[in-house]
Amino acid sequence: MVKPAVPAAPELLVLHAVRLRGMTTGTEAAERFGLDAEAVDELLLDLQAYGRVSRGSFAGTSGWSLTDRGRAEGERLLAEELAATGLGPFVRDRYETFLAYNARCLTACTDWQLRPDGAGRLAVNTHGDAAWDARVLDELTVLGGVIDTLSAELGARLPRFAGYGDRFTTALARVRRGELSWVDRPRADSCHTVWMELHEDLLATLGIRRGEEPLP
């Protein structure tokens, strides 16, 4: 029997949105979890006063990012949420399923960028080999089914996990329409970005550091 979905507190969601995006505007943070934009802007100012977020810019992008204090507070709130819901074993099981497919997604994205040049070397994929690209897209379609199932199962219990499958599928549909950068486009909801964001979401929820991940 599926337990009722458990909504998260606004402070947790805002800190989590900033963590998942790395650097974000207030509008983006609000949109990430369907929050009121004005309320999020006010909350970000409060979090700044407590030293949990800071404004900055990097590589032409500006916005809010977590401080060490903010990251620690976000992790504390996530741990409290998991303890209160008793969903730790369930989330870990889905994380292990995700991890079993993670290398396949990274390989697919790499194959979209590079392919053998016929002389035993890797070269930039110019997308002139229809069979090569079709193989990669078929693999991404399989992975889209995986992320859709995981997002649905997790989102039914923790609503903040909802939507990953739809976002991945939308990006893949754009690729199939000819917008080739949507496999790995940075700072956008590309297939790679969505997959990596779910990875970070699972790690943050379970309190796992990337260097401490188990082998798939």
Instruction: Say if pTM beats, i.e. exceeds, 0.85.
Output: yes
Q: How many domains does the chain have?
A: 2
Task: Quote the percentage of the chain above a pLDDT of 70.
Answer: 96
Q: Please check whether residue 5 lies inside any domain of the structure.
A: no
Whichever domain contains 49, its CATH number is 1.10.10.10
Whole-angstrom distance, CA of residue 187 vs CA of residue 136: 22
pLDDT for residue 2: 47
User: pLDDT tens, 72-124?
Assistant: 999 999 999 999 999 999 999 999 999 999 999 999 999 999 998 877 789 99
Is the domain of 51 the same as that of 111? no
Q: Are residues 22 and 48 in the same domain?
A: yes
Domain containing residue 177: 87-212
User: Does residue 77 sit in the same domain as residue 93?
Assistant: no
Residue 1 has pLDDT above 60, yes or no: no
Is the pLDDT assigned to residue 164 strictly greater than 80?
Answer: yes
Top pLDDT among 187 and 201 is at 201
CA distance 50 to 54: 10
- Which domain-ending residue is among 36, 57, 82? 82
Assigned domain for 1 exists? no
The total number of residues shown for the chain amounts to 216
Rounded mean pLDDT, 168-192 = 97
Q: Three-state SS across 25-80?
A: CHHHHHHHCCCCHHHHHHHHHHHHHCCCEEEEEECCEEEEEECHHHHHHHHHHHHH
pLDDT-derived band at 213 (thresholds 50, 70, 90) equals confident
Helix axes 130-155, 191-206, angle to 10 degrees: 30
